[in-house]
Chain A
Amino acid sequence: MDSAFIIEKSVFIVVIFAITMIMAMYSTWAERKVAAYLQDRVGPNRAGWGGLLQPLADGMKLFAKEEFFPNTPNRFLFVVGPAIAMSTALMTSAVIPWGDKLHIFGRDVILQATDIDVSILYVFGIISIGVYGVMIGGWASNNKFSLMSSVRAASQMVSYEVAMGLAIIALLMMSGTLSLKEIAEQQSGFWKDGWFTWNVFSQPVGFLIFLVCAFAETNRTPFDLAECESELIGGYHTEYSSMKMGFYLFAEYANMFISSAILAVLYFGAYNYPGMQWMSDNVGVNAANILGIVVLFIKICFFIFFYMWVRWTIPRFRYDQLMHLGWKILIPLAIVNIMVTGVCILVFK
């Protein structure tokens, strides 16, 4: 392991961390702008041009606020809750392939922090421990509403993880690998052997199930029952103030960014775009791959916009409807999808 490799990876990890943070910051701005547009308002427009400095102002405000601790016997766990939520939101970005390789200073730089051959399982592992942030925080608040909310959040996440995993299995059966990098490479080009290469065209049902589950896992409307304010005051972060509250909110937006990236990588061809091969043959490998990164970020931004679009269009479900959808509709649908995929693989391959 040479030092150039370590420097390269360290720089890359810092860049990814910064990008995740900036995307999460500007998602809060975009969310208010989209909400304002959908409700025929102007939205934030005081701080900077078009309100572009609004996230910075919000951050300053949250840092300057009073640190309030509720009367709880578990002050340590109270602080650990938002920390877990934030760390798990950031950890998943390690295995996402952000682009094909770049050729810089005579070295091939692979645009992925690490390429382990179980990347999808790694993502699932991190998602499954993400629920601890909510559970521990909600319980340590020593408040009945927070506890109710964290119990809701936990049961919701556990239920939808099952459907999410089953939706992915159909995709894995087709790709034959668990590595996100290889799944991204398999979707290169746009048209091959008489069908689209992007997975969304061969796994439409799986994509829909995964999308719905991603909404549930990130706690976004219509599945944001964990913070249903008409029933639970503010949800699991009722007792939180200042930047600890900010961490919970921020983690939600970071999760949104990461899950959009995973949706784009798994189903929407990752960094591939039609004519990528032509670009790298005629214009240069670096130019083609940088365009690939831009394309990936356009796809991610589209999914983030989609999250917001849904949030301001569809009202919240009732809790029994949520459980009904998860266990009685999505899971059987995912199992049927697996069986159909299996039969198709047997017949066509």
Chain B
Amino acid sequence: MSPILITFYFLAAITLATAFLTIYSKNPIHSAIYLIICFFSIGGHYLLFNAQFLAIVHIIVYAGAIMVLMLFTIMLMNLNKEDEVHKPRITRLGAIVVFVVMSIVLVTIFINSKTIVGEYDTSGEDFQSIKKLGNVLLNEYMVPFEYASVLLLVAMIGTVLLSKKEKPGK
């Protein structure tokens, strides 16, 4: 086994274990911390493909920004096990149905997929540098790129509007 393959299995084990623990742990803060570790290991997977830009942006956006805010909110709300709202039976039933359907889909995909276990090797082609990405994004995918930025702008304005409305006295 090549060192890269060993690294891959190691990272995959961390990713799956932390993803499972995110759902499984009772304490919301522990969940958030497991999720952060999960994001880091996914960043590691990107690095295995030599996609440096993607790996670092992934860490900045998910681990550095989104999860900080998430952790921040959880800390402010100070969620405890005792505060957990009682879930009605219908919700639990719905969750089980969704879980079963989802599992069937995933298992079918897993069985029917023809997995190709390839080796990591160097193609010698530059596909990840910022120059390359910039060229592709602003030529070939210019319109979707601009749409994405408009979408983010709309989301930002919406957030500002929502937080303004909650001000007391208005």
Return chain A residues, CB-CB under 8 Å to B36. 132
Assess the B68–A125 pair: CB atoms within 8 A.
no
Partner among B53, B65, B69 whose Cβ is within 8 Å of the Cβ of A121? B53
- Supposing A117-B52, A117-B130 touch, asked if A151 and B72 sit within 8 A by C-beta, the answer is yes
Pick the residue among A129, A147, A161 that contacts B75 (CB under 8 A).
Answer: A147
Shortest B83–chain A CB gap in Å is 16
Q: What secondary structure prevails in chain A residues at the interface with B?
A: helix
CA distance A127 to B59 in the complex (A): 11
* Contact A151–B129 (Cβ < 8 Å): no
- For window 113-136 of A, CB contacts with B under 8 Å fall at 116-118, 121-122, 124-125, 127-129, 131-132, 135-136
Is there contact, CB below 8 Å, between A139 and B29? yes
Tell me which residues from 29 to 73 in chain A have a Cβ below 8 Å from any Cβ of chain B: none
Cβ of B33 within 8 Å of any chain A Cβ, yes or no, is yes
Asked, given contacts A118-B130, A139-B29, whether A128 binds B68 with beta carbons under 8 Å apart, the answer is yes
B residues 50-86 touching A (CB-CB < 8 Å): 52-53, 56-57, 59-60, 63-65, 68-69, 71-72, 75-76
- Complex alpha-carbon distance, A129 and B65, angstroms: 9
> Which chain A residue has the least Cβ–Cβ distance from B78?
A147
| Interface of chain B, main secondary structure | helix
Q: Chain A: interface residue count, which band? A: 20 to 34
* CA of A121 to CA of B55, assembled, Å: 10
CB atoms of B64 and A154 under 8 A apart: no
- A151 near B75 (CB under 8 angstroms)? yes
Contacts of B52 in A (CB 8 A): 116-118
Contact of B33 among A77, A124, A158 (CB under 8 A): A77
Total count of chain B residues near the partner, CB < 8 A: 20
Q: Which residues of A contact B69 (CB under 8 A)?
A: 158
**Judging by beta carbons under 8 Å apart, are A155 and B72 in contact?**
yes
- With contacts A122-B56, A154-B68 taken as known, whether A128 is within 8 angstroms of B63 at the C-beta atoms is yes
Q: Which residues of A contact B33 (CB under 8 A)?
A: 77, 136
B36 CB to nearest chain A CB (Å): 7
Residue of B36, B129, B130 contacting most chain A CB atoms (<10 Å): B130
A128 touches B75 (CB 8 A): no
Please give the distance in Å from B77's CB to the nearest CB on chain A: 11
A118 to B133, CA, bound (A): 12
List 7 interface pairs A-B (beta carbons < 8 Å), by A numbering. A118-B53, A125-B59, A128-B63, A131-B68, A139-B75, A147-B75, A154-B68
Contact surface of B with A, Cβ cutoff 8 Å: 29, 33, 36, 52-53, 56-57, 59-60, 63-65, 68-69, 71-72, 75-76, 129-130
Residue positions of A touching B, CB distance < 8 A: 77, 116-118, 121-122, 124-125, 127-129, 131-132, 135-136, 139, 147, 150-151, 154-155, 157-158, 161, 178
